[in-house]
Amino acid sequence: MKASTAVNPKPERGCFITLEGIEGAGKSTHIAQLATLLSSLGLRVVTTREPGGSPIAERIRALLLDSANTGMDETAELLLMFAARAEHLRTTIRPALESGAWVLCDRFTDATYAYQGGGRGLSSERIGLLETLVQGDLRPDLTLLFDLAPALGLARARGRGAADRFESETLHFFEAVRAVYLERAHASPGRYCLIDAAAPLSVVGEQAGRALRALVETRRSESADASDGGAAM
């Protein structure tokens, strides 16, 4: 009797969804709810965050957020962000996507363009070089941008307790961050979903949930079409 040569098919790649926005916009509040929604739709979900998301990346996060590190060089900050991202991608994001999981990430490279580009004034060209080096062609499938006036966001964030190194920045800094976020959203409307984070929590959750359901429906429709095409061959 011949041994079976059947090979388990490689799982379909999962979707990579990022949540972006300034401090106080509500990303962390909604990520757990969105994970529950995706799970209820029969999907395996991994939630993570940046900077951080892996043991080494979390140690880098502590350096970046420590309010004692006020004199950090802007380029050093940028390089630390991408060092953490490289570890995060290697240990968490890429393996999850390759296994078929849907990844929900609290901030990703759009935040680097907004914070280190807009806030710190570093060039988008420099950030883009590091983005390509660290990520290759990996980009989010969907980005939920929780948009909020910086004054309101800072009031919310600082009401939570002691401010970290970024939360201690000026209103002008966060206005520049928000401006870059909005520029990127307007430049890539197919990837971004702009959410009014000043709305009541339930309304914000509904906006984000609709965007995720639409993505799930699109992916399932594409998978069904691909299966039908393969069966017809």
Q: Encoding tokens for residue 38?
A: 């995706």
Kindly indicate the confidence band of residue 169, based on its pLDDT and cuts at 50, 70 and 90.
very high
List residues forming the annotated binding site: 21-28
Kindly indicate the confidence band of residue 180, based on its pLDDT and cuts at 50, 70 and 90.
very high
pLDDT attached to residue 222: 87
Which whole number is the average pLDDT over 133-153? 97
User: CATH homologous superfamily for 16-221?
Assistant: P-loop containing nucleotide triphosphate hydrolases (3.40.50.300)
pLDDT attached to residue 229: 63
Instruction: Reply yes or no on whether the pLDDT at 230 is more than 80.
Output: no
List residues forming the annotated binding site for ATP: 21-28
Range of lowest pLDDT (15-29, 138-152, 217-231): 217-231
Return the percentage of the chain with pLDDT > 70, whole number.
92
pLDDT attached to residue 1: 47
Q: What is the pTM of this model?
A: 0.91
Per-residue pLDDT of 74-84, as tens digits, reads 999 999 999 99
Residue that wins the pLDDT comparison between 67 and 146: 146
